[in-house]
A and B are shown apart, each in its own frame.
Chain A
Amino acid sequence: MRLIRSAALAGAVALALSACGGGEDIEAEAPEPVAAEEAEFEAGSTMAELSEAGEMTIGTKFDQPGFGLRGLDETPDGFDVRIAQYIAAQLGIEADKIKWVESPSSQREDLIVNGDVDMVVATYTINDKRKERITFAGPYYVAGQQIMVKKDDSTISGPEDLKANPDVKICSVTGSTPAENIREYLASPDQLVTFEVYDDCVTQLENGQVQAVTTDNVILVGYVAENEGKFKLVGEQFTEEPYGIGIEKGDTAFCEFINESLEKAAEEGYYEEAWKETAGAYEGTEVPELPELEPCA
């Protein structure tokens, strides 16, 4: 039993209760981004539409501690979620008017292309192939890929050790960038095991079905902290993963609006505060600065 799980569950219940009762202020420490009161946007723009509707649908991960983690109740929390809430607030949309949709790595583009979500904030690495189908705003954070193993494991101390140990299985998420990046370090593709969500990879690491899990450092740090003393990170970060915000392809105005919002969040100190309360709460993380934004094209 992962103790922290029931703690998370208890927290989720508490949150749900406090949301109903309104008496307790467990939530008070979360910086509620204040919804812009009179946001005005060019007619016909995505911003105008969303602002008019007063609600929006956002895709995020439901299984990533620190970035997007959802309890058994309906609202996820994490750095991605806070960033998304801030952008929504700039549109005049309150946090409780956001509909969250789980967006696993393999389905993020589909969700955007299909119009199932208005944007995706989900540890979403910007790359050229993806840009063929969607547009990225940001990046709002730059992560790097690393490897997590069991605490007592001494065979693997970095990606280079995978080729030498062809029996070792390494787990990542189906269709994700980390799964793709790790391939060049493998002796055979059979070493790679994939699941839809990282939680499943961590469960299987615990089960001994796989010997390592790989993805971006910040995500792994969350799992290390959550499962006290069970896992550790090994080796250096071997990639650079700029996280962007996925929106419909060609919506330059919306992209620029998001980038302005990100800069504003950084200026106001919201960015840093949000980080400290979510992903930054884990040991081994540093407060980032907003990376240089890519031009919207």
Chain B
Amino acid sequence: MEFLTEHFDDFVNGFFRSLSIALWGAVGSLLLGTLLAVFRVSPIPVLQGFGAAYVTLVRNTPLTVLLFGMAFGVPGLGINASFYLFGVVTLILYTAAFVCEAIRSGIATVPIGQAEAARAIGLTFGQSLGLVILPQAMRSVVPPVGSVIIAMIKNSAVVGAAGVGSDLFSVYKRMTSALGYAPLPVLTAVAVAFLIMTLSTGALLALAERRMAVAR
């Protein structure tokens, strides 16, 4: 465990780097995913089609293909940004497809009577979605969206491979190769760091779930 004492700073930096990738990823994918879900349940066929096509294409492509396509393809189009940004954007684009599906399944759990009642009192699509359906759907959406976010935290481990650097995985590679530490203890520390992120998120979600659960 000498690497921990000798390079504790690098390790902590790596942890926060990975954490920040995951945090921005969560915020972005929740926003984009919700937008896509609204598209998919809207009465406008073009938007429905766009949402469906996006989800189908993105959900069936491996994250690494998207990531490398972004990091090598997009600069070739004359668009330059940091690899950190490219990585976070890829993570958002990818995760949003799953968030969209989770939210859509949540909307499906709201009893039909609610939507019918909303329409009966004359609410428009936007009003019935925004005031009646989504607030209720949010409750049943928490578990599946939570699972998506946990999966995303885990996926954030991949992002470092496309030039991001100084995330937990890059720290691992530096320690074991350039600095020559034995791999097993370093990797164990990396694993523990990720477990801290995923398990604590899981616990938070379980708490939120219990708080929001309502007997129907």
Residues of A within 8 A of B (CB): 105-110, 127-130, 132-133, 171, 174-177, 179-180, 189-190, 192-196, 200, 203-204, 207-209
Which bracket fits the contact residues of B?
20 to 34
Contacts of B181 in A (CB 8 A): 129
Report the separation of the CA atoms of residues A105 and B170 in the bound assembly, to the nearest whole angstrom: 13
Also in contact, A176 and B177, with CB within 8 A (given A204-B163, A209-B80): yes
Asked if B180 and A189 sit within 8 Å, CB to CB, the answer is no
> In this complex, what residue of A is CB-closest to B77?
A207
Report the separation of the CA atoms of residues A195 and B165 in the bound assembly, to the nearest whole angstrom: 8
Report the separation of the CA atoms of residues A127 and B45 in the bound assembly, to the nearest whole angstrom: 64
Asked if B174 and A179 sit within 8 Å, CB to CB, the answer is yes
Interface of chain A, main secondary structure: helix
Bits for B162-175, please: 1 = Cβ < 8 Å to A, else 0: 11011000100110
Report the separation of the CA atoms of residues A190 and B163 in the bound assembly, to the nearest whole angstrom: 11
Task: Check B178 for interface membership: any CB of A closer than 8 A.
Answer: yes
Asked if B165 and A194 sit within 8 Å, CB to CB, the answer is yes
Report the separation of the CA atoms of residues A196 and B166 in the bound assembly, to the nearest whole angstrom: 14
Q: From residue A259, how far is it (CB to closest CB) to chain B in Å?
A: 22
> In this complex, what residue of A is CB-closest to B76?
A207
Report the separation of the CA atoms of residues A133 and B182 in the bound assembly, to the nearest whole angstrom: 8
Asked if B80 and A196 sit within 8 Å, CB to CB, the answer is no
Asked if B179 and A190 sit within 8 Å, CB to CB, the answer is no
Among A108, A109, A174, A207, the residue within 8 A (CB) of B174 is A174
Asked if A194 and B170 sit within 8 Å, CB to CB, the answer is yes
Asked if A129 and B180 sit within 8 Å, CB to CB, the answer is yes
Asked if B75 and A204 sit within 8 Å, CB to CB, the answer is yes
Residues of B within 8 A of A (CB): 13, 72, 75-76, 80, 83, 161-163, 165-166, 170, 173-174, 176-183
Instruction: For the A-B complex with A106-B176, A175-B176, A189-B165 known, give 8 more contacts whose Cβ atoms are closer than 8 Å.
Output: A105-B177, A128-B180, A129-B180, A175-B173, A180-B179, A194-B173, A195-B163, A204-B163
**What are 7 A-B contacts defined by CB distance under 8 Å?**
A110-B176, A129-B180, A174-B174, A174-B177, A176-B177, A190-B165, A207-B76
Asked if B180 and A109 sit within 8 Å, CB to CB, the answer is yes
Asked if A203 and B72 sit within 8 Å, CB to CB, the answer is yes
Q: From residue B138, how far is it (CB to closest CB) to chain A in Å?
A: 37
Asked if A175 and B178 sit within 8 Å, CB to CB, the answer is yes
> In this complex, what residue of B is CB-closest to A133?
B180
Q: From residue A3, how far is it (CB to closest CB) to chain B in Å?
A: 16
Asked if B161 and A196 sit within 8 Å, CB to CB, the answer is yes
Contacts of A200 in B (CB 8 A): 72, 163
Among A108, A128, A193, the residue within 8 A (CB) of B177 is A108
> In this complex, what residue of A is CB-closest to B78?
A208
Contacts of B179 in A (CB 8 A): 129, 180
